[in-house]
Structure 1
Amino acid sequence: MNYGINSVLIHKNQETVWNAITNDEYISKWYAPGSKWHIPKLKVGEKAIFVLMPSAYNNLKDNESIPMSFTIQEIIPNERFSYSSDSDDLVFTFEIYSESEGTRVSINMDGYELSLANLKAFLEGRELPYA
């Protein structure tokens, strides 16, 4: 099956990958490095906050930040994590599949190639390509 540019194969098990996409400490390291996630409770209906900070990959000025609020929509441990943006109702879904070489992670949105490349590097112990 071809998952396209919205997926990446990571040479780690599903549980390790799951922790990297659902633990706010880990997400903050690979997803828009320098920005911060806060997920108080990993439970459907709970809020998550993401504060986007300036980087080479956005147009924010040095003293700007954009706080965003999300609501967790679906949790299937080691398989699917979904949340919606409270400002525009976009739903972001990460899906995790076991493969012979490791774990495939896909996201239902275009434009996440850099984040997926960072996730792979983070979990495989390499320097983040887009930090």
Structure 2
Amino acid sequence: MNFDQRSVFIDADLDTVWKALTIDGSFSTWYAPGSEWTIPRLEAGEKAVFTLMPNEHNQLEEGEHVEMIFTIEEVIPNSRFSYSSDMDGLKFVFDLSPEEDGTRVHINMDGFELSLANLKAFAEGRELPNR
């Protein structure tokens, strides 16, 4: 995958995009619709919990769920949000940069095309393309 597929231009200001990434209710809405993020304190070293629920993009059966715990690594307002999986140490890094008329979001991981498309739609106030 090339770098362009790991970034998205969003027609929204930095603050709007930052809140979409870091407020647990907002993150839950676009990241994996139907699943839930809980981010009690947005500070490095704090824990966040992601509860994956069944949907068309995973193999979970109705009534099943998978709970994953993450450690918040970096919180640089309107610039960088990163966290790592407590299970395998995998680190996820979201970098934000202002561009003319909006914000560019880069993620360090492959396979986030659907989530980035949802983030774009959510921050722009549109319907999510991937539910």
Q: TM-score, normalised by structure 2?
A: 0.97
What letter is aligned with 2:56? A
Deviations 1:65-102 (A, max 9, x none): 00000000011110000000000000000000000131
2:29 paired residue number: 29
Deviation of 1:125 after TM superposition, in Å, equals 1.5
CA distance in 1, matches of 2:82, 2:31: 15
Aligned residue runs from structure 1 range 1-131, under 5 A: 3-131=3-131
Q: CA deviation at 1:21?
A: 0.2
- Structure 1, unpaired ranges of 5+: none
Q: The residue matched to 1:96 in structure 2 has which SS?
A: strand
| Cα distance in 1 between the residues matched to 2:112 and 2:61 | 22
**Which stretches of structure 1, 4 residues or more, deviate above 2 A after TM superposition?**
none
Aligned residues: 130
Q: Secondary structure at the match of 1:62?
A: coil
Structure 2 SS opposite 1:73: strand
TM-score in terms of structure 1 length: 0.97
CA distance in 2, matches of 1:13, 1:106: 15
CA RMSD for the aligned pairs?
A: 1.0
Query: Gaps (5+ residues) in structure 2?
Result: none
